[in-house]
Every structure is written in structure tokens, then in C-alpha cells.
Amino acid sequence: MHVQVWQYLADPANQRLLLYIFIALIAGFLAGRYLGKGSSKGRPFFDKGDSALFKGIQYLLSDDPDHAIEEFTKSVQINSDTIETYAAIGNLYRSKGAIDRAIHIRRSIILRPNIDEETKVRALFDLGLDYKKGGFLDRSLEAFLNVIKKKPSDIATLEELEKIYEEVKDWENAFETRQKIAKLSKTDCSGIMAHHRAEAGKALFEQGDATRAKTFLKKAITINRQCIDAYLHLGDIYFSTGDTKEAMATWKKIVSISPHFTFLAYQRLEQVYNRSHDIKQIELFLKDCAKYNTDAFTHLALARHMYREKKHEEAIDELKKAIDYYPCFWEAHRLMGEILLETGNTGDALNAYNDLLMHLNVPYLEFQCTNCGFHPATLKWQCPQCKKWDTITLTDTGFKKINGLSTPELLLAESYDRGGAE
């Protein structure tokens, strides 16, 4: 019930606002007591404006923004100089989706005479947030750029700019903005910057510029050699230009860098298998993967290859290894049954399918953002909700973990090939 309140309070600007209001209330309380000593009749602790302000705070903390806005508005009508209160009303309007009203408040603050520069800049920043919430990205971008002109080192504004650049897929400006953030915050932002370069490369490839696309993807890897997305798409480019050997070599690097992501390359082998005359290199690729990544799915991928090559006994051996790693691996049981039926081992096939029936009731594969908890339908490199990079993981939906991953990675790889991993 109070999620919105905690989100509101998590904003440093709102925390400062409440702190200022609290200090003002305490000051008013002490002043009232002090002045009361000099008067036989004394005086109330709060005047009408203070009373409305106090009620507004109470409503805000009670997760009742409608009444909070009403009381804050009363306070401003009594004392129009309370800029912080006026700003709070704008924030509440924005949180309720009343963007026009929020924008009107910011503009009125910016146009007020005799307002200090810091207050105007803050109102301009809030105006950028209002425009962004309303979907007016061009105006939001303009507002934040104006803030940066006045406060070039404001990290919060730079982060908002970066989000907009990412939203509109302006990867060059997103990259440059993240560079500034990294320099100011003195933190390692190589992961994000690599993704920006990778996204730029992917966009260029879609536009038909494979040469420049390769350059950007290689830059991404130079910035952060853990950028799996860059290896995957760089391999795709090599493969699209007929350089199957280089494509395989590029995907193979994932095995040693991040073995648990090797499954993302397995589905790509289907294309190689259909177009390459040197089928042996696929087998060598998978065997090398098995050396580094001894999980059930790697053995399944190798078994599939052996099955295509009519090496039934070797395929069965690999499937047995997969099932040894994970007895509930229904995909391995199914393929085992197919091979046994094809080779005439009907009795063993029946046993394999009996085992399969025991494991058909498997949970649906789910993904979740470790930062905000969002559940996307498919694998994403950037969370669609909180916009953080590399935070989407497989949830533990009942599968036994093999080397840190749930074993039905076939589903994950299929979701990637449908365009889910971006």
C-alpha cells in the first residue's frame, strides 16, 4: 500500500523537501513558544498556512496524495513564497499523472522574479521529469540540457539524459554521457558503455553497414571483454558475410569468458550446420564447449549434432551424461526416446518415454530483474522497467541449478532467437 510513499521518500530531492518542511515546523514551534512568553494570551503554534502545510504532510505520509495536494495548495494560497511547498504540489501532480498541472507549476516557479538560481535550476530539472513522465521526450531532453548548461557536473541530470538517449536509441550521445558520469562518479561504467557500443553496432548492421557495425562491436569488446552481446552479434556479422570460421571462433570465445552464456550460441549452430560444408568444425566447437562448460545442456547440444550425423551411439552417450547431470531434463529424455525408436530399440525407447512422462510437469521459464523485480517475457540485456543493464536473470522456478543456471536453456536460447535478448 505504501510503495508509492517509499518511492517518493527515496528521491533525495523529496527527502530534502521534507527535511526543510520539518525544520520550518520546528522553527515555527520554537518561535511560537518564544513569542508566547511575551504575551499574556499567548498564540497558537501554527497559523492557517502552517496548519494546512502540516496536514498536507500527514496526508502525504498516509499515501493520500489528493488531500495532500489540497492542503498544500491552501498553504501556498496563504503564503505564496513557500516555493518548496509549491514544488511538492508539482511532484504530487506528476505522480498522479496530472502532467499539465505539474508543468504549469514548474513554469510559474521559473518565471518568478527574485528567485535564487538554485531554485530555478531545480524547477527546470523537475520540468524535465514532468515532460518525461508525459512522454514528451524532446522537451524533456531540452530541459535537462539546459540544466547541464548551468550545472555541468550534476550526475542526476546526466543520468536522466542518458536514459532519454537510450530511449530514442541515440547510442553515441548515451555513450558520451555515460563517459561523463564515469569520470564524475569515479566508478567503473565499462559494462554500460560496452552495451552502448554494442547497440550502435547492431543498429548499423540492421542498416546494412556491416563494416562499421563490426568496428563498434569490437570497440564494445575492447571496453568490456565480458560483453557477451557483442560477441554474439559480431559472430552473426561474420557468418552473414560468409566467414563461418571467424564466426565460430568469435562465438567460441564466450566459452572461456562466460561459460554459462555459451548456450546463447548453440542455436546459431543450426544456421552453420545448414550452410557449412565443414561439419566437423561444429563438432569440435561443441566438444570444446563441453570441456569448459560441463552442464546438461552442453551435452544435449552435442548429442543433437551427433544425432544429425547419424552417430547414434555417441549421441546416446552424450544424452546419458546430460541426464546424469540433471535427471529431470525432459528434453534429453525425449531425444533419447527418438533415437532409440529410430534404431529399433523399442523396449529402451519405452523406458525413456516413461521417464519423460514423469518429468513433463515442469514450471514455465521465467526471467526477473535483480534490481527492480520486473518479470520480462524474454531475456533482455537491459531491464525494460528500471533501465538497468545486465540485471535480468533466470528465476529459480523449480529447476535444479547446474553451474548457476537452470538446465532448460533450450527454451532460453529459443527465446533469444525470437528476438527476446536485446
Residue corresponding to grid cell 496536514 = 55
CATH number where 297 lies: 1.25.40.10
pLDDT score at 75: 65
Contact between 233 and 239 (Cβ < 8 Å):
no
Instruction: Look at residue 130 and give its three-state secondary structure.
Output: helix
Rg (CA), the chain: 30
216-273 pLDDT, tens digit per residue, is: 999 999 999 999 999 999 999 999 998 888 998 899 888 778 877 777 887 787 677 7
Which residues are 392's β-sheet partners? Answer: 369
Residue 401 pLDDT greater than 50, yes or no = no
Residue 171 lies in a domain: no
CA 26 – CA 358 distance, rounded (Å): 68
Other CB atoms within a 10 A radius of the CB of residue 230 amount to 27
Does residue 190 belong to any structural domain of this protein? Answer: no
Residue 9, pLDDT above cutoff 80: no
Residues 208, 289 within the same domain? no
Does residue 178 sit within a domain? no
Residue 226 CA to residue 151 CA, distance in Å, equals 34
The answer to whether residue 364 scores a pLDDT higher than 60 is no
Question: Residue 4 corresponds to which cell in the numbers above?
Answer: 508509492
Using CB atoms within 10 A of its CB, is residue 164 exposed (0-12), middle (13-18) or buried (19+)?
buried
Which has more pLDDT, 40 or 144?
A: 144
Looking at the structure, do residues 116 and 224 belong to the same domain, yes or no? Answer: no
The pLDDT-based confidence of 359 (bands split at 50, 70, 90) is low
Does position 167 have pLDDT exceeding 60, yes or no?
yes
Residue 124 falls inside a structural domain: yes
Q: Is the Cα dihedral 108, 123, 7, 11 positive or negative?
A: negative
The percent of residues above 70 in pLDDT, for the chain, comes to 68
Rounded Cα distance, 354 and 254, in Å? 36
For residue 23, pLDDT beyond 60: no
81: amino acid identity, one letter: D
One domain for residues 375 and 351:
no
In a domain, 51, yes or no: yes
Cβ-based neighbours of 91, under 8 Å, separated by 6 or more:
8, 14, 17, 102, 126
State whether 99 and 20 are in the same domain. Answer: yes
Is the pTM value of this prediction over 0.85?
A: no
Give the model's pLDDT for residue 329.
Answer: 75
143 in the same domain as 7: yes
The position carrying cell 552502448 is 196
C-alpha cell at 34: 518564544
In this predicted model, which residue has the larger pLDDT, 364 or 348?
348
Tell whether 343 is covered by a domain.
yes
Count the domains in the chain: 4
Query: For 87-115, what is each residue's pLDDT tens digit?
Result: 877 887 788 888 998 898 888 888 877 77
233 is a domain residue? yes
Range of the domain at 230: 198-241
DSSP state of 81: T
Collapsing DSSP to helix, strand or coil, 372 comes out as coil
- The per-residue pLDDT for range 292-341, each reduced to its tens digit, is 766 777 888 888 888 888 888 888 888 888 878 777 777 787 787 788 77
Mean pLDDT over residues 127-140, rounded?
A: 95
Mean pLDDT score of the chain: 77
Same domain, 265 and 294: yes
Q: What is the 3-state secondary structure (H, E, C) of 299-362?
A: HHHHHHHHHHCCCHHHHHHHHHHHHHHCCCCHHHHHHHHHHHHHCCCHHHHHHHHHHHHHCCCC
Same domain, 144 and 8: yes
Residues 13 and 94 in one domain: yes
Domain boundary among 149, 182, 208: 149
Cβ neighbourhood burial of 345 (10 Å; 0-12, 13-18, 19+): middle
Which residues, at least 6 apart from 29, have a Cβ–Cβ distance to it below 8 Å? 45
Residue 162, C-beta contacts closer than 8 angstroms, at least 6 positions apart: 174, 177, 178, 181
Taken as a whole, the chain contains a residue count of: 422
Question: Are 328 and 344 part of one and the same domain?
Answer: yes
Q: How many CB atoms lie within 10 A of CB 406?
A: 24
Asked whether residue 353 falls in the same domain as residue 382, the answer is: no
**Confidence tier at 365 by pLDDT (50, 70, 90):** low
In a shared domain, residues 47 and 72: yes
Q: What is the 3-state secondary structure (H, E, C) of 138-194?
A: HHHHHHHHHHHHHCCCCHHHHHHHHHHHHHCCCHHHHHHHHHHHHHHHCCCCHHHHH
**CA-wise closest residue to 13 among 121, 109, 99:** 121
**Most distant CA pair in the chain: distance in Å?**
108
Cell representation of residue 38: 511575551
Residue 400 within a domain: yes
Query: Does residue 384 carry a pLDDT above 70?
Result: yes
Structure confidence by residue, pLDDT tens digits, 366-375: 788 999 989 8
Q: Which three cell numbers mark 341?
A: 525408436
| Residue ending a domain, choose from 128, 149, 170 | 149
pLDDT given at position 14 = 59
Identity of the residue numbered 163: K
- On whether both 141 and 229 belong to a single domain, the answer is no
